[in-house]
Amino acid sequence: MLSFFKKKPITGYPRSFARRLTWRIMLRMILIMSVPAFVLFWLTYGIVALGVMGISDRILKGEKEEVRRIASDLYMASTNTAAFIEDDLSNPDRMYDIMNRMLKLNPYMRSCGIYFVESYYPQKGRLFAPYALRQRDSTIVESQNAIDHGNDYVKDKWFQDAIASEKGYWSKAFFDNDSARTPLVSYLLPIRDKKQRTVAVLGVDLALAWLNEKIQPTNTHYKNDSKEWDASYEFYYYMTDSAGTILIHPDTKRIVNENIQPYITQGPDKHRGHLTIGDNREDRMVIDGEEVQVCSQMVKYTDWTIAFVVPTFYIRLFGYQTALAAGGIGRPGGQG
């Protein structure tokens, strides 16, 4: 047979019109299916993220109200007791009984005392400051005088500021001068005589360590002598005053000793801004090296801000899982 009658070998697949048309249809179908799926995925993720914020808001609001109630109880106890003190200023020994009774009636109170101005009762000496103390085992130590422990309080700034104040207020956090250096915050209220002269300061103390144990989640790992607190994947609360001083925190060694700012290596995203639901503020931050969502609220009638910290790892994990489920991804045959 002549060579020109032989078939030439096929070296490539012919690009027919039908094949090109099939590819175009498939691409359009993929595009039509993927765009809604993409939108659904991120819409579901966003809804989940907002839902987490709403849940965090409700959780935080409950703890904030608990702190506010405790602070309010101490405020009311101080205000009510001040009237008895002012009526009995002529009887200095009566002050011990008032302090003892005040402490017994208020289980949230760690201690209370009346600090009189210098030489107000000459028969009692230069200083007179009856107070009562609740120990860690709830035992109440009655009828003590603060000056018996070398407390020359009239030289302290807290006393001078309280004497000059027109009304009561929450003090800055401090350590008690006992051997345990107990972290405290006090409500200070000026006491006036019948001539409206300020003659003493009533102080009631709230133990921050006790408040911290009451507020923190039960599974939070506290820092102690044998184990370092680890922020990884932890849900926890912290509370600060207006200066950023730490009032409650799972790492108890930070309470009063430290400010929250050095632990925030990345503050709120200025471009992203912050979200608010009611009186709740939500920010994304990096605290202790962990990317977290921080929901914070002000505690009414104080300068305290309490915050609930949620690791973004859990938000993303739950958000992705829910979004994938909503899109039918991961189900047999992709069917609902």
Percent of the chain exceeding pLDDT 90 equals: 51
| Higher local confidence (pLDDT), 44 or 204 | 204
What was the pLDDT predicted at 51? 64
Q: pTM of whole model > 0.75?
A: yes
pLDDT in tens, 80-92: 999 999 999 999 9
What is the pLDDT averaged over residues 288-298? 90
Tens of pLDDT, residues 226-274: 467 888 888 899 999 999 999 999 999 999 999 999 999 876 655 444 5
Residue 185: band (very low, low, confident or very high) from pLDDT cuts 50, 70, 90: very high
- Residues 77 and 204 sit within 8 Å (Cβ to Cβ): yes
Instruction: Give the residue-averaged pLDDT of 291-298.
Output: 90
